[in-house]
Chains A and B, each alone.
Chain A
Amino acid sequence: MQSKRLGWIFLAPTLVILFFFGVLPFIYVVYVSFHQWNPFAVNPEMVFNGADNFRQIVFDQAFLNSLGVTVLFVVFAVLSELILGYFLAQAFMRDFPGKAIFRTIHTLPLIVAPIIVGSVWKLMTTPSIGIIPHYLDEWFGITMNIGTSATAAFATIVIMDVWHWTPLVTLTLIAALVSLPPDPFEQAQIDGAGKRQIFWHITLPMIAPAVVATVFIRLMDALRTVDEVWMLTGGGPGSATRFVGVHIFKEVFPKTNYGYGSTISVIVLYLTIVVCWLLYVTMLAPRNKKD
């Protein structure tokens, strides 16, 4: 009984902070999402407009477009990070010369702030000045211009995100791989299982919780990507890289459309929860049930 009370006492500061800086603002955003509110309108006050904002979202082509682009980005980026991260994790499980140095260098992007990542990639990709278009042109005769080519801009953002976040995936998967017991693998080898069979039937199921946790983290991060994209393309060319995060930013800050911007935020949060729940249900729930 006493230890339970002590537990609550220790938890209290965190819960209080979480309530004031997490729960309350969220409730406020939900409240605002049911209002029309632009402080630079003729009437700068909040006006309750029921579910109008939610109805508007369904027909908002700009939002739907940004959602589509975001989903594409999430699929390409997270999948690439997962595959690349797994192979790198496997590589780091083995010994090779210079492993420590390579592992350190490989982890460095993680400590760089997203806005700086965006700036650096902007420098590297600016047509005529950047090192990437320069060498693409010199070596392969490819003209790369992220200001005019939607594909180039989108691909650059995916590559930038993969460069930035693959180390996180690698580190998580290394932790998972290191903790695996050797027995099932030895058993499988004795039974004559191939590498592919071992991967699908032993390694993957055993590291699935770590994979799902990593995908959760990356999924949520990728869905709210703003800084790097803001710096690199500003959402362009056109709306080719106007991800939902950027769309919300533009709606809320420069346009000061607080009501509708809040609605989009709530919807995006809802969609994120749904996607994560689906992922959980399909990958982990059956396994938990079985256990």
Chain B
Amino acid sequence: MSFAFKIGASALALTVAATAAVADGHAWWQKAAEPYQGVTIRGVTESSPPSLYIREVLAPQFEELTGIRVDVETTSWDQMFDKGIKDMEAGTGIYDMVYIEQDIIYSYLARDFLTNLTAFLADNPDLQAPNYDEGNFTTFADYFKDADGNLYGVPMEAFLKVYLYRKDLFGDADIQAAFKEKTGRDLVPATTHDEYSEIAQFFTDYGKENDLELWGTTAQAHTGHVASWYEYYESVAPTFGVYNWGIDADNNYAASVANGGAMNGPEAVEAMTWWLSMRDIAPPESPASTWTEVGTTFGAGRAAQGLVYGENAGWIAADDSKSLVVGKVGVALPPLADGVLDAAEAGEGYIGYYDGGAFGMPHSSKNKEATALFLQFIAQNEVQPDWAVAAPRVTHTATYDDPKVVAFNEELGGYYDLIRDKGYLFAGAPAYPFHAQVREATAPIFYQILTGDLGVQDGLDQMATAAESTLTELGYRK
């Protein structure tokens, strides 16, 4: 028997086995969905690439397989919350699935909006898909679990806010020489804030001197949108050692230094001052930039480095229909103050934001069984690799090793490696059920710091006072 024949026979056997397995799989979904044929389930989510993939690809596949219709409404970030919360609050049951951003899960759990998916599937074994396993998820799924380990949302996107830099500029021999001459250092991605500032200033000057539309850093510094608040509290303050917004939950939710918090402490002041100095040498659109515009700025080749949400890092690095810097992007850990990395390694801090979201099923859903099937459908290992390539996000451990994803990781400058290997150093939002309330109470003061109407120390003092006052009003601070 020739070697070629053996290979051919093995391939045939594998194909037959795989086809049989797929057929078996299909048969299970069809049988499980039989009682719900013709049912329509509705979801609301943010209009982001991963959600659009659900709407355009996964929902039609599921419909074809099961006969259950899936309507996925993709809308703006604030509308998504508004619609979901109103529906769950009133118990109207318009939505069977709601997008749960990692930072709002604690509010939803506190209000008992969501169905315990672990318990629901345990109580309905006929609905449990054979290839669905909570163990398939990365540790990011832990953010959607309660203290007893019950899952309340099926993770559908997870990103890091990473330090993105232009490999082509950092690797250019002339630029390297000019940088060395000016600073006495080699041009490599920064590991400290001083290094980052030096690189940022160098490239902003370089852009001016060479009449280029190029600046040294991005800044998500909108003066009227919460995106700036998030950049500071999620991505900048932690790199200076200010965690959980500077609020100490174990100390009666203290925010001010006087009461044991850190919101207006010296590290917070240093972080804010540094960030504002970066904002001042960032592209002129920065004071009007949210996360979207920061991505656009970087994708347009207007910044040499910056902190960018992973959901944008994907298209910036790989989509040449949108980005001018395809193949020119590298990723690294953000610059850190002394001791922050050690604290993160020891599990006592974190170095940046682990962002993402899940699909949850409200108690008010009127089609829980059909919804549970769909949530398991999008949680299958099998659908993950194509999804990870179409809309860079990884929520399953096995996805990292898929050949398609490995190849795509190269295009992304090692972004997936960073999530897998260093993801544990990053953290999601603190476990606060009052997330939006404290944010909104302090944001107007924060904007005044950005506009210069308030000094950094004065502004942070006022923010700490406002945070404590709101927490008292809400009943969390005694």
The answer to whether A239 touches B111 (Cβ under 8 A) is no
Say which residue of A126, A236, A237, A242 sits within 8 Å of B285 (CB atoms). A126
B17 within 8 A of A: no
Nearest residue in A to B300 (C-beta to C-beta)? Answer: A129
In the complex, what residues of B have CB within 8 A of residue A62's CB?
444
Chain B residue nearest in CB terms to A236: B224
Consensus secondary structure, chain A interface: loop
Whole-angstrom distance between the alpha carbons of A240 and B451 in the complex? 10
The 8 Å CB contact of A236, one of B225, B434, B436, is B225
- Which residues of the partner chain A approach B222 to less than 8 Å between Cβ atoms? 147, 234, 236
| Contact across chains for B450 and A253 when beta carbons are under 8 A apart | no
Report the nearest B residue to A251, measured CB to CB. Answer: B440
A99 at the interface (CB under 8 A from B): no
What total of A-B pairs shows CB separation below 8 Å? 103
**Residues on A with beta carbons closer than 8 Å to the beta carbon of B439:** 254
Given the complex, which residues of B lie within 8 Å of A127, measured CB to CB? Answer: 284-285, 287-288
| Structural contact, B437 and A238, CB atoms closer than 8 A | no
CA distance in complex: A145, B453 (Å)? 16
The answer to whether A255 has its CB under 8 Å from any CB of chain B is yes
Given A40-B436, A238-B453, A250-B440, are A145 and B476 neighbors across the interface (CB < 8 Å)? no
Q: Write the nearest CB–CB distance from B328 to chain A, whole angstroms.
A: 21
A62 (CB) vs chain B CBs: closest residue: B444
Question: Does B362 make an interface contact (CB < 8 A)?
Answer: no
Q: Are B224 and A126 in touch, CB under 8 angstroms?
A: no
| Contact in complex: A145, B436 (CB < 8 Å) | no
- The reply to whether B444 and A242 contact each other, CB–CB distance below 8 Å, is yes
Q: Which of A44, A146, A250 has the most CB of B within 10 A?
A: A44
Q: CB of A43 within 8 A of chain B?
A: yes
Interface membership of chain A positions 224-243, coded 1 if the CB is closer than 8 angstroms to chain B and 0 otherwise: 00000000011111111110
Residue total for A at the interface (Cβ-Cβ under 8 A): 34
Partner of A128, one of B82, B285, B434, B473: B285
Q: How far is the CA of A126 from the CA of B476 in the complex (A)?
A: 40
Within the complex, which residue of B81, B284, B474 is in contact with A41, where a contact is CB–CB below 8 Å? B474
B447 is an interface residue with CB less than 8 A from chain A: yes
The answer to whether A234 and B225 touch across the interface, beta carbons within 8 angstroms, is yes
A residues less than 8 Å from B447 (CB atoms):
236-239
Q: Is B89 an interface residue (CB 8 A)?
A: yes
* Contact status A145-B437, CB under 8 Å: no
A145 in contact with B448 (CB, 8 Å) = no
B283 within 8 A of A: yes
A239 to B288, CA, bound (A): 14
A206 CB to closest chain B CB (Å) equals 44
A233 B224 Cβ-Cβ under 8 A: yes
* Majority secondary structure, B binding face: helix
Q: Which chain A positions have C-beta within 8 A of B283?
A: 128
For the complex, give the distance between the alpha carbons of A257 and B441 in Å: 11
Taking CB atoms and an 8 Å cut-off, the chain A residues in 112-163 that contact chain B are 126-129, 145-148, 150
The size class of the interface chain B forms with chain A is 35 or more
- Compute how far the CA of A251 lies from the CA of B434 in the bound complex, rounded to whole angstroms: 14
> Which residues of A, 239-287, contact B by the 8 Å Cβ criterion?
239-242, 250-251, 253-257
CB within 8 Å for A239 and B450 given contacts A234-B224, A255-B436, A256-B437: no
Residue of B nearest to A250 (CB): B440
Q: How far is the CA of A241 from the CA of B437 in the complex (A)?
A: 21
- The one of A40, A146, A147, A250 in contact with B474, judged by C-beta atoms closer than 8 angstroms, is A40
Cβ contact within 8 Å between B284 and A145: yes
A135 to chain B, nearest CB (A): 15
Chain A residues within 8 Å of B476, by CB: 42
Asked whether any CB of chain B lies closer than 8 Å to the CB of A203, the reply is: no
Whose C-beta in chain B lies nearest to the C-beta of A40?
B107
Q: Roughly how many angstroms separate A256 CA and B89 CA in the complex, as a whole number?
A: 11
Kindly state the separation between the CA atoms of A44 and B107 in the bound complex, as whole angstroms.
11
Interface pair B286/A147, CB less than 8 Å apart: yes
| Complex: A44 Cα to B112 Cα, angstroms | 11
In the complex, are the beta carbons of B441 and A255 less than 8 A apart?
A: yes
Q: How far is the CA of A253 from the CA of B84 in the complex (A)?
A: 12
Say yes or no for A172: interface residue by CB 8 A criterion.
Answer: no
For A255, what are the chain B residues with a Cβ–Cβ distance below 8 Å? 436-437, 440-441
Q: Are B110 and A237 in contact (CB under 8 A)?
A: no
- Minimum CB–CB distance from A178 to chain B (whole Å) comes to 42
User: Does A25 make an interface contact (CB < 8 A)?
Assistant: no
**Residue A39, interface by CB 8 Å:** yes
Complex alpha-carbon distance, A148 and B288, angstroms? 8
What is the minimal beta-carbon distance from A216 to any residue of chain B, in angstroms?
Answer: 30
Say whether B437 contacts A253, CB under 8 Å: no
* Across the A-B interface, the 7 shortest Cβ-Cβ residue pairs: A236-B224, A147-B287, A42-B475, A234-B224, A147-B288, A237-B223, A236-B223
A interface residue numbers (CB < 8 A to B): 38-44, 62, 126-129, 145-148, 150, 233-242, 250-251, 253-257
List 17 A-B pairs, Cβ < 8 Å. Answer: A38-B474, A40-B433, A41-B434, A128-B284, A128-B302, A145-B287, A147-B222, A147-B286, A148-B451, A234-B225, A236-B447, A237-B224, A237-B287, A242-B224, A253-B82, A256-B85, A257-B437
